[in-house]
Amino acid sequence: MEIFRGRRLWIEQRDVSLPNGLVRQKLIVHPSDAVVILPIEDDHCKFIRQYRYAIDDYILEAPAGAMETGEDPLKAAGRELIEETGFAARVIEPRGFIITTPGYTDEKIFLYEARELSPSQEFVKDEDEVIEVVDIPVNNLNAMIRDGSIVDAKTICLIYRCLGC
């Protein structure tokens, strides 16, 4: 049974047959799939400092965003990189995907590493996003994860997949 349907996600309640034979009623959140990109230039990464209303705070994260219905993840990565940083990448390499929170959602985020960056003429900032682009030295990332400066899970996974930190 559908509980809610919005532009980017829908929520359903359904009976789920578990591997042990039990049947339980569960809520499942179905958001749009998404992409996250680690733009690397020389020995720096371009991150964003973005206001996130769900936590009522700013957070440091890699550029990311929801995919449009039917959109190719690689094309979405290129689009989101431009939308959030103003930079395009000549090289965008896939680094797999993650399942964010399988206890209640089927959300999948595709991971990408971007290199050979240049300012984009297509840059148009979304009006509902409060974003500042921040250059961070690659050598600082491990310490920033450890000290809590970077707490965004998708960003931490992306750093690990791209740089092995």
- Residue 127 near residue 118 (C-beta atoms within 8 A): no
- Residue 66 near residue 51 (C-beta atoms within 8 A): no
CA atoms within 13 A on the CB side of 89: 27
Active site residue 80: no
Quote the tokens at residue 164.
């092995």
- Residue 30 near residue 11 (C-beta atoms within 8 A): yes
- Residue 120 near residue 87 (C-beta atoms within 8 A): yes
* 37: number of Cβ within 10 Å: 29
Coil, strand or helix: which one is 97? strand
Catalytic position from the list 12, 83, 127, 132 = 127
Q: Which residue intervals of 34-95 are DSSP H helices?
A: 73-85
Show which residues are catalytic: 127
